[in-house]
Amino acid sequence: MSNWTIDELMVAALARELPDDTVCFNGAVSFIPVTAFLLARATHAPGLIWVASSIAVDPRPDRIGESTLSDALWDGAAMLQSSAADFWSYAQSGRLNTFCFRGAQMDAYGNVNNTVIGSFDAPKIRLPGGGGMADLGCQVPRILLWSTTHDPRTFVDKLDFRSGLGWGDGGDHRARLGLPGGPRACVTNLAMMDFHPESKRMRLRSVHPGVTVDQVVAATGFELVIEGDVPETEPPTDEQVRVIREVDPTDARKREFG
Amino acid sequence: MSNWTIDELMVAALARELPDDTVCFNGAVSFIPVTAFLLARATHAPGLIWVASSIAVDPRPDRIGESTLSDALWDGAAMLQSSAADFWSYAQSGRLNTFCFRGAQMDAYGNVNNTVIGSFDAPKIRLPGGGGMADLGCQVPRILLWSTTHDPRTFVDKLDFRSGLGWGDGGDHRARLGLPGGPRACVTNLAMMDFHPESKRMRLRSVHPGVTVDQVVAATGFELVIEGDVPETEPPTDEQVRVIREVDPTDARKREFG
Amino acid sequence: MAERAKIVSLSDAAELVPDGALLAVGGLSLNCTPMSFCRELVRARRRELELVAVVSGMSTDWLVAAGCVRKLIMGLTSFEGFGLAPNFRRAAQAGGIDVEEYSEHTLICALQAATAGVPFMPTRAGLGTDMPALHPDRTWEMVDERSGQRFLACAALQPDIAVIHVHEADADGNARMNPKLVWFDTELVKAAKRVIVTAERIIDNAEFRAAPERTSIPGYAVDHVIEAPRGAWPTACWPEYPYDGQFYLDYQRAARDPEAFAAFFSEHVAPLPDPAAR
Amino acid sequence: MAERAKIVSLSDAAELVPDGALLAVGGLSLNCTPMSFCRELVRARRRELELVAVVSGMSTDWLVAAGCVRKLIMGLTSFEGFGLAPNFRRAAQAGGIDVEEYSEHTLICALQAATAGVPFMPTRAGLGTDMPALHPDRTWEMVDERSGQRFLACAALQPDIAVIHVHEADADGNARMNPKLVWFDTELVKAAKRVIVTAERIIDNAEFRAAPERTSIPGYAVDHVIEAPRGAWPTACWPEYPYDGQFYLDYQRAARDPEAFAAFFSEHVAPLPDPAAR
């Protein structure tokens, strides 16, 4: 039997998408990405630079804690980036090249909604708001998506509101807007997706151990691109599991579940 | 006989233009204004805030030294404004409300040239360049001009190049450009000028002791507005002279002469 | 330097903010928010405020709960891991407040345009999203004729008043954060017509002069200084004290029931006006 | 962290700058300019450089004297109280270099537009002056249709390379100024495609981690680090050493006569190429 849990599989899968030249940062409630950054840095990507809370450059925290915007993550930082204006400059110039998104809703092109469920003026549920999504989705070249709730309520055919830009309307929409890069992958509790090179629609890359393609299709509110046989997601190695539990000894990553 | 010198008269005359709510700063080779700031602060305008070299907020130097951009002026500052971006923000917002200009050429509307004598592409004399003149002339509400060389080469009918904006083409030109304030006065080695409220042309307000109106007219390359009898410039008081020599014990202010 | 004395007592703070003011409140999410000042606004029954809060939570929820807010101009409003801001959520869903949603950076651009005295600030942020269409008079897409490049224009937004919380300030208005973590706060300070700083401690001007490179905000940019020990509570004032997680939990629990919430709010913040008065 | 090692020797510095590069040089007038780096460019006989220098003096004069510069994009060039920059002045008067004059702030706006990835940055600076007409393709007046407000648009200017001088840096590229006086330097760093930092001292990364609030520039924004003790001489590296006033005086005296200047320059900076080669 496997000695890993689903949060650990998601962290490992996300970490594999982070090359050595990654300069990443995180916002609120981003336990899975933060753990993935720490895993990647400790294993295959020692050159990775993580700016904790978009403030603390390359810190060395001994745990993750209860807020991914809190100073608990800042121990041992090489710099405390004191002003938002400085941060935004580096985010716009592409020096900060990687960000991870999640949204209450995501569509086939990796656009996200964190603003409202229902109409904006009379919402069924008023969500926190787009925050930096509209800014970073447009300007950060490498976007990674994640969700711990892969279901038809989250993965919808049409967003109630587009708070953050993924591939927009698909195809060359981002390029026409003059925007760099775009979403590269999406890791969920069921599967690993990427995006079709032309249509930019979400494509099923692998299903997690014990999950069937039919289950993923049923859990997705839009039509996934499926090409040929879909392999199984590579589970985390024993070494990856060991490191994950070392960098996140208090299981903060599990806060995103249930 | 008077116990003051022309530099001291100019400093005192400039200081009188500085009310208690002045927030001023200085650029390079600005010995007369810096001395005037220190005089005003030590006498009638204790609330005056001076940002030395546009960097050191409200310093308490014991001398002025050989460069008005050097750290010699920064002793006792309450803040070292570390970035030019921050400085420009406060200069644009009007929090920094007073700046003093001099130019190799000045015209009847208080516009200044510090770029070239002759044509821009084949100058007779290539001057340092406008620097911040074009920025501050447009955006700082209270502008004061000074010159230690009141002659037809400096006070010209037409600038070879308009590096810094005073009242522009005169009248409501600044207002039409949507710009705040404008030049208030001009202190030279011969006289004190202000600007006609409608035409915004330079107007002779007073001539310094021992100088005649005809001398000033002859030394000015454009037609000065002269209304009625022109009084004599009030000389510095003994107290002002004492304070001037106290804040500038090394006579740095005299560096602008000859 | 009596001429420069800018100190106001916390009890007089609310008098600095008229009803209907366009008020920008500093801080970032669970961090360094001028909460004591917000409490005074609740006590004083301020009304019709247009609140600018880039990334906030408890401060906005207090002011909305007490009916002080007509319009909220925001980037994000939540309690992070402690859930959605309950009164903000209820009011927004019931149409009790007008929500003008920007993104973080486009809102900063609007503030920077005011600082620079230009009609708008251009950015690539927000292109292709539904946000600009929420306020086409404030944010609109443009194309540069020369390069053909698209951008979003963010119209200048100048707050009447900005209030931020810092560690230390003096009578001249000089303000210091230990260390100098200014978040969005300096953008608010630069853009606003008037600036209020609440500080954990009022210190002597000489302390600023002893370490001028540590000063965060120059005195000439500050109009009023208010001493407010633990003035950021229940948000954090790093590194001096953390946010009060238990308060967030208790607040959320109380917010499930109107009566329980009224009692809780009255005990920990200030009495709520009766619903009729709102 | 060998993966991150960014240290280059001063003797290899010039190889980082190809002929014809759009090179932004940091510092402010008599202060904190990467002079040792400029000397290496002179030694390496760099040619056709397009130099961006917001407010400079000796650095520009050296590079112009040695014939390294095709175009100078500047706000102000002088030796302040020590007079006009003699070689800059001569070259400009003789048409030996192309001078693209901005004002300080409009040049910063052009750099900020590059940083933000927008076609231009708007400002009120420069309105009504003769400066915009010098380069109508780079700076032009616009009117906002909605407000009727005029502004100057400053087209994005992205340097290929920016080089600045700091007190301390490490192998990761983290850089610190003591105290943190960054002048225009951060604007150059943010805008440029590649960034080179020369430092009085290379220090251990642990020293940055011990005082992270004092770090001026994050390592991820720096591509190369060069150790250059007294690397700002003859400009100042406050508070560590003042500018060398005597050098400025001697330089000006020598500049009155071509032969005397060649000898002086060769002794204190580097041999000048013979005029034919320029």
Q: What are the structure tokens assigned to D196, written together? A: 């080179």
User: If you count residue pairs, one on A and one on D, with CB atoms under 8 Å apart, how many are there?
Assistant: 67
Sheet containing C139-143, strands listed edge to edge, beginning at the edge strand earlier in sequence = C120-123, C150-155, C139-143
Q: What are the structure tokens assigned to A228, written together? A: 């040929």
Between CA B131 and CA B27 the distance in angstroms is: 9
Strand partners, B51: B25, B57
Q: Report which of C120, C114, C74 is spatially closest to residue C97, judged by C-alpha positions.
A: C74
Cis geometry, peptide bond prior to residue D234 (ω within 30 degrees of 0):
yes
The interface residues of chain D toward chain A in range 167-226, judged by CB-CB distance below 8 A, are 170, 172, 174, 186, 190-191, 205, 208-209, 212-213, 215, 218-221
Between CA D60 and CA D78 the distance in angstroms is: 9
For helices C104-116 and A84-93, the axis angle rounded to 10 degrees is 110
What residues of chain B have any CB closer than 8 angstroms to a CB in chain C?
20, 23, 46-47, 49, 51, 56-58, 60, 74, 76-82, 86, 89-90, 92-93, 95-96, 139
pTM for the predicted model, two decimal places:
0.97
Chain D residue numbers with beta carbons less than 8 Å from the beta carbon of A81 are 218
Strand partners, A99: A143
Q: What are the structure tokens assigned to D112, written together? A: 């900020």
The amino acid present at B80, given as its one-letter code, is: L
Q: Report which of B53, B5, B12, B22 is spatially closest to residue B243, judged by C-alpha positions.
A: B12
Is the CB of D219 less than 8 angstroms away from the CB of A58?
A: yes
Between CA D261 and CA D65 the distance in angstroms is: 10
Q: Report which of D246, D187, D200 is spatially closest to residue D226, judged by C-alpha positions.
A: D200
The interface residues of chain D toward chain B in range 50-69, judged by CB-CB distance below 8 A, are 55
Measured between alpha carbons, how far is residue C161 from residues C57, C192, C207, C222 in Å?
19, 5, 27, 11
Is the CB of C116 less than 8 angstroms away from the CB of B46?
A: no
In this structure, are strands C98-101 and C69-77 parallel, antiparallel, or unpaired? parallel
The beta strand positions in chain A, using DSSP E, are 23-25, 49-52, 56-57, 79-80, 98-101, 105-106, 112-113, 116-118, 123-126, 142-147, 182-188, 191-195, 202-207
Burial of A231 (0-12, 13-18, 19+ CB in 10 A): exposed
Mean pLDDT over all residues of chain D?
95
Residue B116: which H helix or E strand, with range?
strand B116-118
The interface residues of chain D toward chain B in range 73-92, judged by CB-CB distance below 8 A, are 74-78, 80-81, 84-85, 88-89, 92
- Tell me which chain C residue has its CA closest to the CA of residue D145: C119
Q: What are the structure tokens assigned to C165, written together? A: 């919380």
A: neighbours with 3+ CB pairs under 8 Å? C, D
pLDDT at B1: 47
Average pLDDT of the residues in C52-58: 97
Measured between alpha carbons, how far is residue D79 from residues A162, B93, B115, C193, D57 in Å?
55, 30, 15, 38, 5
Q: What is the DSSP letter of A234?
A: P
D243 at the B interface (CB within 8 A)? yes
User: Which of C208, C209, C222 is the best substitution to test chain B (most B C-beta atoms within 10 A)?
Assistant: C209
Percent of residues, chain C, with pLDDT higher than 70: 97
Is the CB of D119 less than 8 angstroms away from the CB of C124?
A: no
Q: What are the structure tokens assigned to C174, written together? A: 């000089």
User: If you count residue pairs, one on B and one on D, with CB atoms under 8 Å apart, how many are there?
Assistant: 151
Which residue is it, tokens 């955006």?
B139
- Min CA distance, A132 vs chain C (Å)? 5
Between CA D206 and CA D64 the distance in angstroms is: 40
pLDDT tens across the length of chain A (258 residues): 469 999 999 999 999 999 999 999 999 889 999 999 999 999 999 999 999 999 999 999 999 988 898 888 999 999 999 888 889 999 999 999 999 999 999 999 999 999 999 999 999 999 999 999 999 999 999 999 999 999 999 999 999 999 999 999 999 999 999 999 999 999 999 999 999 999 999 999 999 999 999 999 999 999 999 999 999 999 999 999 999 999 999 999 999 986
B: neighbours with 3+ CB pairs under 8 Å? C, D
Alpha helix ranges (H) inside A103-220: 133-139, 173-176, 213-219
Residue C17 region by backbone torsions, left for phi larger than 0, else alpha for psi between -120 and 50, else beta: beta
pLDDT at C274: 75
Distance of CA B37 to the CA centre of its chain: 11
Helix, strand and coil in chain A, % to nearest 5: 25, 20, 50
Torsion of CA B212, B214, B217, B223, to 10 degrees: 130
Chain D residue numbers with beta carbons less than 8 Å from the beta carbon of B25 are none
Chain B residue numbers with beta carbons less than 8 Å from the beta carbon of D29 are 28, 69
Per-residue pLDDT of D7-20, as tens digits, reads: 999 999 999 999 99
Helix or strand or coil: residue A257?
coil
**Which residue positions in chain B have pLDDT lower than 50?**
1
Residue D205 · residue D171 · CB < 8 Å: yes
Per-residue pLDDT of C5-43, as tens digits, reads: 899 999 999 999 999 999 999 999 999 999 999 999 999
Buried b (16+ CB within 10 A) or exposed e, D180-191: bbbbbbbbbbbb
Residue C249 · residue C83 · CB < 8 Å: no
**Which residue positions in chain D have pLDDT lower than 50?**
1-3, 276
Q: Which residue in the set D151, D181, D213 is minimally distant from C180, CB to CB?
A: D213
- Min CA distance, D154 vs chain B (Å)? 13
Between CA C235 and CA C238 the distance in angstroms is: 9
Burial of A212 (0-12, 13-18, 19+ CB in 10 A): exposed
Per-residue pLDDT of D86-124, as tens digits, reads: 999 999 999 999 999 999 999 999 999 999 999 999 999
In this structure, are strands C194-202 and C175-176 parallel, antiparallel, or unpaired? unpaired
Per-residue pLDDT of C154-195, as tens digits, reads: 999 999 999 999 999 999 999 999 887 778 999 999 999 999
Q: Predicted ipTM?
A: 0.96
Sheet containing A23-25, strands listed edge to edge, beginning at the edge strand earlier in sequence = A79-80, A56-57, A49-52, A23-25, A98-101, A142-147, A182-188, A191-195, A202-207
Between CA C36 and CA C22 the distance in angstroms is: 19
pLDDT at D275: 64
pLDDT at D3: 42
Between CA B90 and CA B140 the distance in angstroms is: 10
Between CA D41 and CA D269 the distance in angstroms is: 11
pLDDT at A70: 82
Per-residue pLDDT of D218-233, as tens digits, reads: 999 999 999 999 999 9
Mean pLDDT over all residues of chain C?
95
Distance of CA C43 to the CA centre of its chain: 17
In this structure, are strands B98-101 and B142-147 parallel, antiparallel, or unpaired? parallel
- Min CA distance, D2 vs chain B (Å)? 32
Between CA D122 and CA D161 the distance in angstroms is: 24
Residue C151 · residue C126 · CB < 8 Å: no
Residue D42: which H helix or E strand, with range?
helix D35-43
pLDDT at C223: 97
Between CA B45 and CA B33 the distance in angstroms is: 14
Between CA D13 and CA D17 the distance in angstroms is: 8
D10 at the A interface (CB within 8 A)? no
Cβ neighbours around B176 below 10 Å, total: 13
Tell me the residue length of chain A: 258
Residue A78 · residue C95 · CB < 8 Å: no
D: neighbours with 3+ CB pairs under 8 Å? A, B, C
For helices B6-15 and B31-42, the axis angle rounded to 10 degrees is 60
Query: What's the 3-state SS for chain C?
Result: CHHHCCEECHHHHHHHCCCCCEEEECCECCECCCHHHHHHHHHCCCCCEEEEEEEECHHHHHHHHCCCEEEEEEEEECCHHHCCCHHHHHHHHHCCCEEEECCHHHHHHHHHHHHHCCCEEEECCCCCCCCHHHCCCCEEEEECCCCCCEEEEEECCCCCEEEEEEEEECCCCCEECCCCCCECHHHHHHHCCEEEEEEEEECCHHHHHHCHHHCCECHHHCCEEEECCCCCCCCEECCCECCCHHHHHHHHHHCCCHHHHHHHHHHHCCCCCCHHHC
Q: Report which of B128, B56, B106, B119 is spatially closest to residue B224, judged by C-alpha positions.
A: B106
pLDDT at A28: 86
| pLDDT band at residue C275 using 50, 70 and 90 as cut-offs | low
Torsion of CA D94, D135, D125, C104, to 10 degrees: -130
